[in-house]
């Protein structure tokens, strides 16, 4: 079997659910961190980027991020968000799962922060959902984006981000009493997580906290959610 038919066989074998990740098989496989061939993110880079950050977004809402948004970690996030390297979600999802376990949130339902329709069209996949699916934990699309489009958060300061996301999320179903943990790709000001948490809380969910792939306290993140 030549390389191409092998690729097609893997594509078909991957099935519908793994369709997004199968896209990554079309790229030659190299590490998103150090460019070594063979792995989407090699064990050395996973070890290097793993640097848990705990941040209080507001009283009663803390977010655990698997790494800082810099160096190798930033390259891995860019590969996942901007270069279609969806396979990177697997090692990052593993790191996030470890954080949720450490925080005592293993049994909570992960709720991905919804992606704007524009971002979904541009990428073809929702990064927070992809990460949630790779944690191995239960997750649910409880939140959705309300009709109005969320403007790109890039280049906005804290106040503008708060204003930008206010009223943008709604629940699909009443999560009454359910213990939930928000999951996002990059945390910047925390405005998005605060708003998502507020909506879940108002709908009766018990928001235990949030987890993310990367924490960036400064406004340097390309493609950061908020
Ligand atoms: Zn590497």
pLDDT tens per residue across span 125-170 = 999 999 999 999 999 999 999 865 556 666 667 677 666 677 789 9
How far does the centroid of ligand 1 lie from the alpha carbon of residue 85, in Å?
14
Phi, psi of 103 (to 5 degrees): -75, -10
How far does the centroid of ligand 1 lie from the alpha carbon of residue 114, in Å?
29
With the CA atoms of 183, 188, 191 and 195 taken in that order, what torsion angle do they form, in degrees rounded to the nearest 10?
-10
What is the rounded CA–CA span in Å between residue 196 and residue 143?
8
Q: For all residues of the chain together, what is the average pLDDT? A: 83
How far does the centroid of ligand 1 lie from the alpha carbon of residue 134, in Å?
19
Domains of the chain: 46-215 (3.40.50)
Q: How far is CA 128 from CA 6, 95, 114, 212, in A?
A: 30, 14, 8, 8
- Residue 156 is predicted with a pLDDT of 67
How far does the centroid of ligand 1 lie from the alpha carbon of residue 32, in Å?
6
- Residue 12 is predicted with a pLDDT of 36
Choose among 66, 73, 49: nearest CA to 212: 66
User: In which residue ranges of the chain is pLDDT below 70?
Assistant: 1-28, 147-156, 158, 161-164, 218-226
**pTM exceeds cut of 0.85:** no
What is the rounded CA–CA span in Å between residue 105 and residue 99?
9
Choose among 207, 200, 136: nearest CA to 172: 200
Give me the residue label for tokens 């945390």.
187
- Which long-range CB contacts under 8 A does 149-154 form with residues at least 24 apart? 149/116, 149/117, 149/118, 150/116, 152/118, 153/188, 153/191, 153/192, 153/224, 153/225, 153/226, 154/221, 154/222, 154/223, 154/224
- Residue 224 is predicted with a pLDDT of 45
How far does the centroid of ligand 1 lie from the alpha carbon of residue 183, in Å?
25
3-state secondary structure the chain: CCHHHHHHHHHHHHCCCCHHHHHHHCCCCECCCCCCECCCCCHHHHHHHCCCEEEEEECCEEEEEEEECCHHHHHHHHHHHHCCCHHHHHHHHHHHHHHHHHCCCCCCEEEECCCCHHHHHHHCCCHHHHHHHCCCCCECCCEEECCCCCCCCCCCCHHHHHHHHCCCEEECCCCCCCEEEEEEEEECCCHHHHHHHHHHHHCCCEEEEEEEEEECCCCCCCCCCC
How far does the centroid of ligand 1 lie from the alpha carbon of residue 18, in Å?
23
């Amino acid at each position: 079997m030549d390389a191409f038919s092998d690729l097609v066989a893997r594509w078909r074998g991957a099935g519908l659910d793994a369709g997004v990740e199968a896209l990554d098989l079309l790229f030659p496989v190299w590490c998103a961190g150090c460019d070594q061939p063979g792995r989407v993110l090699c064990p050395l880079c996973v070890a290097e980027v793993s640097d848990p950050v705990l941040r209080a977004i507001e009283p009663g809402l803390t977010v655990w991020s698997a790494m800082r948004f810099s160096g190798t970690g930033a390259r891995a996030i860019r590969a996942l968000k901007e270069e279609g390297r969806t396979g990177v979600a697997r090692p990052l999802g593993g790191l996030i799962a470890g954080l949720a376990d450490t925080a005592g949130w293993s049994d909570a339902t992960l709720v991905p922060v919804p992606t704007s329709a524009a971002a979904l069209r541009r990428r073809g996949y929702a990064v927070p959902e992809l990460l949630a699916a790779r944690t191995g934990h239960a997750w649910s699309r409880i939140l959705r984006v309300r009709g109005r489009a969320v403007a790109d958060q890039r280049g906005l300061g804290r106040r503008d981000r708060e204003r930008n996301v206010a009223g943008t999320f709604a629940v699909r179903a009443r999560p009454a009493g359910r213990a939930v943990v928000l999951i996002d790709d990059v945390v910047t000001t925390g405005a998005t997580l605060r708003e998502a948490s507020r909506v879940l809380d108002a709908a009766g969910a018990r928001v235990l906290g949030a987890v993310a792939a990367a924490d960036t306290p400064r406004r340097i993140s390309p493609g950061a959610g908020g």
